[in-house]
Copies of this chain bind each other. A is one copy, B any other.
Amino acid sequence: MTPPAPSKLAMVPFVSVDNMMRMVRDVGPERMMTELAERIEADFRRWPAFDKTPRIAAHSPEGVIELMPTSDGKAYAFKYVNGHPGNVRTGHQTVTAFGVISDVETGYPALLTEMTLLTALRTAATSAMAARHLAPSDASVMAMIGNGAQCEFQALAFRAMLGIEQVRLYDIDPAATAKAARNLAAAGLRVTSCASAQEAVAGAQIITTCTADKQFATILTDNMVGAGVHINAIGGDCPGKTELHRDILLRSDIFVEYPPQTRIEGEIQQLDPDHPVTELWQVVTGRAQGRRNASQITLFDSVGFAIEDFSALGYVRERVARTGHCQMLDLLADPDDPRDLYGMLLRSAG
């Protein structure tokens, strides 16, 4: 007698990196980020419906491992993500991630997926979504300081959603800039490789910072930021890791995802705990104003929030249900009689 095959209830769809790449290629990176942004904005519009908690971080000298859960009462999602700036030295990714979306009614996982790529896409989608509310409406040039794994996704999302035509690149490592310049030129963007951050920001209406060092760094100093600019600050995202000089923060109107998390992790960890900030969901819903005038400096102090992953996981779940591009994993024990877990074990011997 052969052991019985696992039942349907035991199986959970799994999206590998390979299947995720296939999805991104099938949809197209810019269209997928645009669709993700729509979904993220729709979820920000119903912000109060979500359980929210600052992510649960385990810090070590080498980096951080985080769990980011949230739920809207129907679905539950969490992401596992690490951040290890030194990983590059051993050929590892700085950030890797995977996640799960579940049905609240049963608690059963409905999808397991890689999220290294998906996080890159949703982060850029969130930045562009925020910039649509905050950046000057005529923005066509973006400075990109930090040309690592997130760089191209940011540039393409800003082209697709804000009409950015030119990117001005700078990284302390010229090889990173060369890599990004090659990829973005091939994608049809006008690319200028710069020798300093100061040079990169010249003429840019939007400044994106996404460097990876885990230390208080000053990527931008006050004199580099002119009136009317929108700053999209991605890289300051854990305690002790910031990118902007404090004086810039004091001149800016600051927009954040979830204040209890951003106060710990974002650029605003440099400010008093009661420094005024505006929650992005309130801008999206019209309860708060985004950009007010042409001379205002707006700053999106982005750290990444669980609801963005929830949106992305929901997107992938729906798409996989249509395409079937996944593997089925025998992840959940499913005895014939739910109370007979031991009997299932016995009978599995066949």
Contact = CB atoms under 8 A, between A and B. Distances in A.
Given A6-B17, A149-B340, A108 B88 contact: no
A337 to B, nearest CB: 7
A148 B14 CA distance: 30
Which of A29, A179, A348 has the most C-beta atoms of chain B within 10 angstroms of its own C-beta? A348
Nearest to A96: B332
A165 interface: no
Given A56-B53, A183-B343, A339-B149, A109 B80 contact: yes
Contact count band on A: 35 or more
A65 interface: yes
A64 interface: yes
Contact of A67 (B14, B78, B150): B78
B108 A96 contact: yes
Nearest to A179: B340
Q: Do most interface residues of chain A lie in helix, strand or loop, or is the interface mixed? A: mixed
Contacts of A189: none
Given A96-B333, A152-B342, 20 more contacts: A16-B329, A17-B331, A18-B330, A21-B344, A25-B345, A53-B56, A60-B104, A65-B102, A65-B107, A87-B107, A91-B338, A93-B338, A93-B341, A94-B338, A114-B333, A117-B333, A120-B342, A149-B339, A150-B341, A179-B339
